[in-house]
Amino acid sequence: MYQFVSYLWLSLALFIIVGALFQYAWRNRSVLGARQLLLTLVLAEIWIFGQAMEMAALNLPVKIIWANIEYLPIMLTPVTYLYLALHFTQNKNWLRRRWLSLMLLIPPLAMQILLWTNDWHGLIRQNVYLDTSGSFPTVGKTFGPLFWVFAVYNYVLTFLILSILASALRMKPSRSRRRQIVFLMAAFALPSLATLTHVIGLEPINVDITPSILGLSALIFSWGVFRYRLLSVIPVARSLIIQEMRTGMIVLDQDGAILDINPAARKMLDLTAENLNGALLETELEKYPDLVRFCREGKDNVHEMIIDDGGSRDCYEVSLTQIANSRQEFSGWLLQLYNITERKVAEEIIRRAAFYDHLTGLPNRNYFQILFSKELAHVRMRGNLLTVAFMDLDDFKGVNDTLGHDAGDKLLREVADKLKGVLRESDIIARIGGDEYAIVLPYVGQDEKIASIARKILQEFNKSVDLDGRSVQIKASIGFSVFPRDGDNIDVLLKKADRAMYQVKDRAKNSFAIYKD
């Protein structure tokens, strides 16, 4: 029933090559698109084995059986190639259409039905006979009318696959990504060209060489796998957890091209393009130069940065981590973004509660001590002067008693606003007690300048303030001390400014005094 022919050596070699590639793909089956590749390789093995058995068979009915089996991979391989190309380019619009798989399975199923019933209608093969003109017997035939319909269907799928990959090339991908696409295009196109030569009768021998070319295609694909890492980077897992998680995740190849991105990252970075697979980081994130610069540092790192999308400013914790393949070889990067704006706002609220007066928004006593120490160290290092003011409101208790505490609180806020309006941004203003304020004036030390500033403050206070329909005039006693003339530390300078202020209180109020020994 069967005989050995020399062509079987080639079939055996191709079977082993495709089997080796299957083992590699199986080890990397978690990679996006690996399942489609595995199915393609299984179909290739069926095709190679089926052709080998067809050539070894001695009688026509057995050869026809194996030839019919071969049409299963002939019709299904373009389908699996199409899905492999869609996964490789992450063409999500087509992958989401479940009806597409069913539609693509109808022609292969119809072909199988027509093949096994061909003796009744002759729509696929006609004039079938055993051709013994060659070194081994083959099936002689002419193709029936429906055969050409299925042939056109297969070539339309091949054209669609090459068009999908060509569109990925037009996106100007990274150099390694571009090489991957070229290798895939060559691996997909060669079997179709071989089938075309068989269909139109241009093959050099009376045997369909497509399975052999399919083996060559597998070799090309293998070279792409090992040389250009077609399966080396594991994209973001498509689990519900990853899809719905709030952390943004982007997988990059070694050249910084985007391999995968989850919805959270798209939303954070306002990336609206449907297909970002293979796009360069610099191109898609050009409006986020700090983020691009962070990724281009090329090392594991964690950093906080502000990302402004034009509508809001959010704070993100950004991490960049190397990805290794199954052989622990560097394959790419995982970029993760976590929005920490709420945490930062909460931290700021806590910080303000610890360092700022909740009523006026001015620094409180504790924060004033810190700011004063830093400014004093700065002027001491540069040999400059510095003035400290201690201010107490006059008759503030009377405002609380007659107008109520709400009116008193409003008056305290008015004092803070007026001080900020009169003094420089570099000056330090703090509320250190109920109606007590402290002021630091860097680079001020001459009595004339101090007196001028005091008059401006009192002149501003002389403007009436409306407190619930009543006009009230702010009155204050202010004392000043000067570094280094009156002291060289915080406590001494504040104490002497306080003494000067009480001199005003004892004398006439609503005025100022500069400390004198």
Q: What is the 3-state secondary structure (H, E, C) of 232-271?
A: CCCCCCCCHHHHHCCCEEEEEECCCEEEEECHHHHHHHCC
Q: How far apart are CA 66 and CA 47, in angstroms?
A: 9
Query: Can you spell out the DSSP letters for 303-351?
Result: EEEEEE-SS-EEEEEEEEEEEE-TTS-EEEEEEEEEE-HHHHHHHHHHH
User: How high is the pLDDT of residue 228?
Assistant: 53
**Residue 495 in this model has a pLDDT that exceeds 50:** yes
Mean pLDDT to the nearest integer, 343-356: 81
Q: What is the pLDDT of residue 432?
A: 92
One DSSP character per residue, 85-139 reads HHHHTT-HHHHT-HHHHHHHHHHHHHHHHHHHTHHHH-SSEEEEEEE-SSSS-EE
The model's pLDDT over 414-427, given as tens digits with 9 standing for 90+, comes to 999 999 999 999 99
- Residue 251, pLDDT above cutoff 90: no
pLDDT score at 413 = 93
Residue 164 confidence (pLDDT): 86
Do 228 and 183 touch, CB atoms closer than 8 A?
A: yes
Higher pLDDT, 348 or 409: 409
Question: For 298-311, how does the pLDDT look when each residue is reduced to its tens digit (9 = 90+)?
Answer: 788 888 888 776 66
Predicted pLDDT of residue 236? 44
Q: How far apart are the first and last CA of the chain?
A: 125
pLDDT in tens, 203-240: 555 666 666 676 677 667 666 655 555 555 444 444 44
Q: Going from the N-terminus, what domains does the chain have, and what CATH number goes with each?
A: 6-236 (1.20.1070.10), 245-345 (3.30.450.20), 356-514 (3.30.70.270)
